[in-house]
Structure 1
Amino acid sequence: MQLSSKTWTAAFSFLLRRNCYISSSSSVSAPLLLRPLRPLLLHRSNHAMVPHPKDDAYLDTVIPKRIKLFEAIQAQQRAHLQITLPGGQEKEGKRWITSPFDIAREISKSLASNALISEVNGVLWDMNRPLEGDCTLKIFKFEDDVGRDTFWHSSAHILGQALEVEYGCKLCIGPCTTRGEGFYYDAFYGDLGLNDEHFKEIVSAAEKGVKGKQPFERIEVSREQALEIFSDNQFKVEIINDLPADKTITVYRCGPLVDLCRGPHIPNTSFVKAFACLKASSAYWRGNKDRESLQRVYGISYPDKKSLQLYIQRLEEAKKYDHRLLGTKQELFFCHPLSPGSWFFLPNGARIYKKLMAFIQNQYIERGYHEVISPNVYNMQLWETSGHAANYKENMFWFLRVRSYRELPLRLADFGVLHRNEASGALTGLTRVRRFQQDDAHIFCRESQVKDEVKGVLEFIQYTYDIFGFTFDLKLSTRPEKYLGDVATWEKAEAALTEALNESGKPWQLNEGDGAFYGPKIDISVSDALNRKFQCATLQLDFQLPTRFELYYSAEGEEGKRETPVMIHRAILGFVERMFAILLEHYKGKWPFWLSPRQAIVCPVSDKSQPYALEVRDRIHKAGYYVDVDTSDRTIQKKVREAQIAQYNYILVVGEEEVKTGQVSLRVRDKGDVTVMSMENLLQHFKAEVEAFH
């Protein structure tokens, strides 16, 4: 009998699957398991069927030897896992078995009960995910930015679970709020409109998930598997189809919720001890007004109930000082539907706006910047060359003119008016606008000058924020997934920023993968009087765009030699409108004297002292200060009270006695005491207040 090759293959495969199973954990030896196949282990010779002469030796010695060696090496590798903790402390573990949680538990019970997330060789890592090799390990709690962001990201999944279970909606995306507090989840609800009345049901469903101590379980899936899992959700399908071909796709399960997510997450839901819904608003899928209309539910959570109560109290306090309310009350600015997102600044608001600009401009003179004025509109070719068009980034200033190395560093600043086509639903007072002005500047320098220039910008930021009364944090944001240039250049740029940060003397954190597409950056997050964080200043190091725009300078030494400069993008205020809003809420409407639009008001006691009041006003005005006079027929008590409500820094009362002596009776805002001053001393006091930025 003769058999075809195809028949041989099919027969052998069937019998092998049916009769042979090798398991390293089995107590039965491999040769015994293979023995039923021995009569069938044949070789073909002239199509004749004869037993293989080396069959028994091969099965009895070679395969067991391989398995034994494999298990020995595997055991050896698992037994030699070296873990380095911050500070250089070392721990041992087993590969694919030991998890960050095991290490936390070994260090202390307190750390194990509070550890939310870890970082393994610079990559965020679930606490229960086994370690795969020798590594450096960091463990984060809620007090750390990374831990807090992970906590809120995981809370978004708890919110998503509640929304899906309660309303059968189609979930879209659910991140923690960028550089803010809390989280949100966007979802498609069809005809259902959410409002505050639904929050009780949502919180109740979320608390059930918390009490269930649901673990966050992670799996990696193929694109086909991901599409099958989320085949009933067109939003998730769109996300999956847009992922790069080589992207590892991960899916997390938390109780009944199975969600597409790159993670990582906290160990389980029981870490979330306090949960609340804040508000619901409309949103568009992917921010496109022509796409599906979604609803966004915002939430906040904490590892203890006391922290949530304090947050709610702080939120209520902040509402009283919302810049939109204060701006209307103080007649600073307004917005009109004919130009949404582009704010009109009234005289008092314009005073503050110009003061902020003047402060930065005066610092430019001190710090060697040259101010320029650039166009608002460019040919699209500019943005295509720079890469901004492809990456949806904002504008950059550029110029063409041969420069010498002797002129570097060259610091060019531009208070350019910019326009961004923000969606109408995204516009939020002065903090999210369409027309804005940025204190933009670009420093062109040699590589050897980068460190000193970066340190100089950091000192500029420190000086400015000290005056405003801000504290701030520094983060080094490194190469993102989409970037220009080569890895070696990026590593050089990141090393330069790292060195400058280390020498600045201020603590900083690493923010992996969040750099601009053209270079790494230092993100500056400020905290105001209400303990809220804002992103204002920025410092970006750019080796890419000077090359793309073919910028160069004549190099030192060899004649005719050209070199490409390094460019530093930087802003101190960020954009003026947003800083205006932050400062208005930070000061709770009580502007410091140097920045105030209402520095003083003169209040005559009666008609007899009114001419002198006008003289006082004119003299103060001539000295360069913002001063008004109340010539109404109200009583002096009412005049003073109105001046206090209007937030004048100084109230100058003049009566018959002041007219005789040429003095003024000075009242300080929010204080009851009165000081009598001569005009000379008053103006000297005002000057000292401005010079000290009080």
Structure 2
Amino acid sequence: MYQRCKSLCLTSNLQSRYKSILSKIEAKERRNLLFEEEKKRQRTAVGRIEKIEVKYLSPVEEVTLIMNKCISTPMDCAKHISEGVSKVSAIAMVDGSPWDMNRPLLSNCELKLLNLLSPENKVVNTAFWRTCSFILGAVVDIAFKQDVTVHLHSFPVPVIKSGSFIYDVYLDLADWKPTDQEMRALSAQYVKLINKELPIERIEISENLALEMFQDNPIKMTQIPNIAKTNNNKIILYRIGDYIDISKGPMVGNSSLIGRCTIASVHKIPEKENLYRFQGMALPKGVILNQYAYGLLENRARKFNDTTWPVFSEENNEVEDTKVLGRN
């Protein structure tokens, strides 16, 4: 009896907390304004421009580029090399570590650019899958009418072998089961967004600024202090278009690198109040499968993906699995 009363009280508290004082549009506009102001502040803080040497390593040559410290990015380097390289490069390796294409370079370094068919496929595939989840959050964020409360929860660490990328979302809808038409509409929105060929920006901000930016989302407000605690009071944000979210990254540099895609299913997460798992699958741009083979991947992506939410490790800020769904 006590547990039942406790559960009812928690449900009531969640529903009252999840009523934002800002509309979806107002909250998004405010978040983008703060993002732009912080980006300009960080650019101004660079001060006098210093030069760095970037040794670009490719299978056929080694080129030394003179770039601007804390301003130039791997994408800028790629554009200096050739238009073709800049269009296909997904992520960079800077001194052997994964690096976002649109993240400024901080010192002299060795640079390697990876495309979606590079031999280092695990690094690239993980970034690709993470980006797909990130964009899925952007689609769900605009998919519902204003009178439906939507709060993005998070997306777990990418697990390629699971067969689907995912995003967990709080919806103020009890036992919602989307129709086939609604699923097709979600897929259409996803395709529309990636076809805009938008760059994916990255910025590091303080915990206080993150709390200010996400004050309309009580779930993120709970997560931010825990993330900051393991990351020297820093929160990493990504933006595509006007959509901003939290992720440790890295992600691919542009939505144009995503090819054929489907939002395959939506599952209500067991024992979690009004929390739904959106699942999808996608192919890198240029990878072509016949309808039968693609259909097999779609069917696999429709099955409930029981990948767990991440917990940040204090040692290395990587994610570790923690079972919250009670399924294997």
Give the TM-score normalised by the residue count of structure 1: 0.33
> Structure 1 residue 171: deviation in Å?
0.7
Aligned to 2:166: 184
Amino acid at match of 2:277: R
Distance 1:268 1:318, change over 3 A: closer
Aligned to 1:138: 112
8 A contact 2:103–2:201 mirrored in 1: no
Aligned to 1:93: 66
8 A contact 1:196–1:280 mirrored in 2: no
Aligned mates of 1:125, 1:109 — CA distance in 2: 20
| Residue 284 of structure 2 corresponds to residue 298 of structure 1 | no
Aligned mates of 1:515, 1:191 — CA distance in 2: 30
Distance 1:234 1:309, change over 3 A: farther
The 5 Å alignment of 1:312-351 reads 312-315=294-297
8 A contact 2:92–2:100 mirrored in 1: yes
The 5 Å alignment of 1:124-163 reads 124-143=98-117, 144-163=121-140
Aligned to 2:9: none
Aligned mates of 1:126, 1:201 — CA distance in 2: 31
Aligned mates of 1:317, 1:296 — CA distance in 2: 16
Amino acid at match of 2:66: G
Q: Secondary structure at the match of 1:295?
A: strand
Aligned mates of 2:184, 2:297 — CA distance in 1: 19
> Structure 1 residue 250: deviation in Å?
1.6
> Structure 1 residue 223: deviation in Å?
1.1
Aligned mates of 1:244, 1:222 — CA distance in 2: 8
Note the alpha carbon deviations across 1:419-468, whole angstroms, 9 max, x for none.
Answer: xxxxxx9879xxx9xxxxxxxxxxxxxxxxxxxxxxxxxxxxxxxxxxxx
Aligned mates of 1:292, 1:211 — CA distance in 2: 34
**Structure 1: segments with no counterpart, 5+ residues:** 1-69, 323-424, 433-479, 488-511, 517-577, 579-694
Aligned to 1:211: 195
Aligned mates of 2:201, 2:159 — CA distance in 1: 24
Give the number of the structure with larger relative contact order, counting CA–CA contacts within 8 Å between residues 6 or more apart. Answer: 2
> Structure 1 residue 307: deviation in Å?
3.9
Computed over aligned residues only, the root mean square deviation of the Cα atoms, in angstroms, reads: 3.6
Aligned mates of 2:299, 2:140 — CA distance in 1: 29
> Percent same amino acid at aligned positions?
24
**Structure 2: segments with no counterpart, 5+ residues:** 1-45, 322-327
8 A contact 2:263–2:279 mirrored in 1: yes
8 A contact 2:206–2:233 mirrored in 1: no
Q: Secondary structure at the match of 2:220?
A: helix
8 A contact 1:100–1:130 mirrored in 2: yes
> Structure 1 residue 244: deviation in Å?
4.2
> Structure 1 residue 218: deviation in Å?
2.0
Aligned to 2:244: 258
> Structure 1 residue 298: deviation in Å?
0.8
Note the alpha carbon deviations across 1:1-51, whole angstroms, 9 max, x for none.
Answer: xxxxxxxxxxxxxxxxxxxxxxxxxxxxxxxxxxxxxxxxxxxxxxxxxxx
8 A contact 2:125–2:160 mirrored in 1: no
Aligned to 1:270: 256
Amino acid at match of 2:65: E
Aligned mates of 2:103, 2:211 — CA distance in 1: 25
> Structure 1 residue 100: deviation in Å?
1.3
8 A contact 1:99–1:130 mirrored in 2: yes
**Paired positions, count:** 258
Amino acid at match of 1:119: M
Aligned mates of 1:226, 1:270 — CA distance in 2: 28
> Structure 1 residue 214: deviation in Å?
2.4
Q: Which of 224, 229, 232 is the matching residue for 2:216?
A: 232
The 5 Å alignment of 1:556-571 reads none
> Structure 1 residue 195: deviation in Å?
2.9
Note the alpha carbon deviations across 1:55-85, whole angstroms, 9 max, x for none.
Answer: xxxxxxxxxxxxxxx99xx55x41x413252
| Residue 54 of structure 2 corresponds to residue 82 of structure 1 | yes
Give the TM-score normalised by the residue count of structure 2: 0.67
Amino acid at match of 2:189: A
Distance 1:426 1:183, change over 3 A: closer
